[in-house]
């Protein structure tokens, strides 16, 4: 073996070899790449978390969001904009056939809905705790697909997320001829709300939310006043025939991502991705259908609710302080509706005069 002529080069080779040796991880290849090895210490926590959640299935029997149990009597919360017709969905749970749903209250501002799985009892509700001590880079976990547990870290500071309005994902003809009596669609973004509802290029929109439309500016005005997740009725003409369908609006930022193909690369993002008063940001590899599930620290304390899958490395969660006090009040009101007046209260009322009967004729 020949040594380098320069002593500096020899020293560099020795240093490089030493550094490589120090950086080598003390793990086998399988231990570094096998997710089950990473999650093994969290097995007990995974069991607890999965018992505290359920999947919401749409009318076609497909998962649409995750339900987080918040009351033993079958009360749950989820992401409101993913379930505009919640009572058409069912809850898939382990103790019996899918349960029907009773919607109780909906909060469009925070994108949360409280509901109850009819006939489901003795579930394992989560107990939300303060998220104030959560730090940048802290380990956190969340359920995925109803069976898995994902682990990641807090990836940014908590902050408000500005809203950029709603959209349906179409391009319109800004010079539609007056004799057409409507607004012609010239393009539909793939996987957009318009495409999902069934609108196509060359359709003529003639009514939006019950209002006749004649120019594209008015279409934009009607849509921009609404929240992502809301449904809007669209009356249109195709090949001379009129028909009606409903489009569920999405965040404008989501629709713009679709035009660039970003949504497909990510495996899908949420219908509503902005306009939140405050969020926790993390990097857990979740799916849009995992939204509505809890966010927890490694001690199993629920500190937030996953509310929006934004892109391949970004998910937003609502801090528990934002929504939990509201949910508690709603549940309390639903569990304890106004009671009948007690009998002793009636006894204390002053006697009422008896009305005398008048003779007939």
User: What's the pTM value of the predicted model, to 2 decimals?
Assistant: 0.79
Residue with tokens 């007690």: 342
CA atoms of 34 and 29, how far apart (whole Å): 8
pLDDT in tens, the chain (361 residues): 444 555 555 554 544 454 454 555 666 766 666 677 777 788 888 888 889 999 999 999 999 999 999 999 999 999 999 998 899 999 998 777 899 999 999 998 999 999 999 999 889 999 899 999 899 999 999 999 988 899 999 999 999 999 888 999 999 988 767 677 899 999 998 878 999 999 999 999 999 999 999 989 999 999 988 888 889 999 999 999 999 999 999 998 878 776 666 555 667 889 899 999 999 999 999 999 999 999 999 999 999 999 999 988 899 999 999 999 999 999 999 998 766 655 554 444 444 444 443 433 3
Q: Rounded to an integer, what distance in angstroms lies between the CA atom of residue 179 and that of residue 218?
A: 17
**pLDDT for residue 93:** 82
Burial of 336 (0-12, 13-18, 19+ CB in 10 A): exposed
Give me 238's structure tokens. 């195709």
- Kind of pairing, strands 90-92 and 241-248? unpaired
- Report which DSSP code applies to 348: T
Dist. CA 260–CA 273, nearest whole Å: 17
**DSSP code, position 38:** H
Could you tell me which residues come within 8 angstroms of residue 38 by beta carbon, excluding any fewer than 6 positions away? 151
CA dihedral 258, 260, 265, 268 (to 10 degrees): -10
Instruction: For the domain covering 166-250, report its CATH number.
Output: 2.30.42.10
Domain residue extents for the chain: 166-250
Measure the CA–CA gap between 295 and 282, rounded to whole angstroms. 10
Q: 149: which residues sit within 8 A by CB, 6+ positions away?
A: 39, 42, 45, 46, 49, 50, 141, 142, 143
């Amino acid at each position: 073996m020949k040594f380098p002529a320069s002593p500096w080069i020899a020293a560099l080779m020795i240093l490089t070899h030493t550094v490589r040796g120090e950086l080598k991880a003390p793990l086998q290849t399988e231990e570094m790449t096998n997710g089950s090895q990473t999650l093994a210490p969290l097995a007990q926590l995974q069991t607890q978390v999965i018992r505290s959640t359920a999947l919401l299935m749409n009318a076609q029997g497909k998962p649409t969001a995750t339900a987080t149990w918040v009351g033993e009597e079958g009360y749950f919360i989820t992401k409101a904009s993913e379930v505009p017709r919640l009572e058409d969905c069912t809850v898939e749970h382990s103790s019996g056939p899918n349960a029907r749903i009773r919607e109780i209250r909906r909060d469009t501002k925070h994108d949360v809905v409280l509901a109850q799985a009819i006939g489901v009892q003795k579930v394992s509700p989560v107990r939300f705790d303060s998220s104030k001590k959560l730090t940048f880079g802290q380990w956190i976990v969340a359920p995925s697909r109803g069976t898995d547990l994902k682990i990641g870290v807090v990836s940014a500071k908590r902050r408000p997320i500005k809203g950029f309005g709603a959209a349906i994902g179409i391009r319109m003809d800004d010079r539609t001829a007056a004799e057409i009596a409507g607004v012609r669609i010239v393009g539909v973004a793939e996987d957009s709300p318009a495409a999902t509802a069934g609108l196509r290029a060359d359709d003529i929109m003639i009514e939006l939310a019950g209002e006749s439309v004649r120019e594209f500016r008015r279409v934009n005005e009607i849509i921009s006043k609404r929240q992502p997740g809301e449904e809007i009725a669209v009356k249109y003409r195709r090949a001379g025939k009129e028909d009606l369908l409903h489009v569920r609006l999405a965040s404008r930022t989501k629709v713009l991502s679709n035009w660039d193909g970003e949504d497909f690369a990510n495996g899908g993002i949420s219908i509503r991705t902005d306009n939140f008063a405050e969020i926790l940001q993390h990097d857990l590899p979740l799916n849009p259908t995992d939204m509505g599930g809890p966010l927890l620290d490694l001690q199993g304390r629920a500190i937030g609710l996953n509310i929006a899958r934004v892109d391949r490395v970004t998910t937003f969660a609502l801090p528990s302080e934002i929504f939990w006090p509201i949910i508690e009040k709603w549940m309390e009101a639903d569990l304890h509706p106004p009671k009948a007046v007690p009998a002793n209260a009636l006894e204390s009322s002053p006697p009422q005069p008896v009305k005398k009967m008048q003779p007939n004729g």
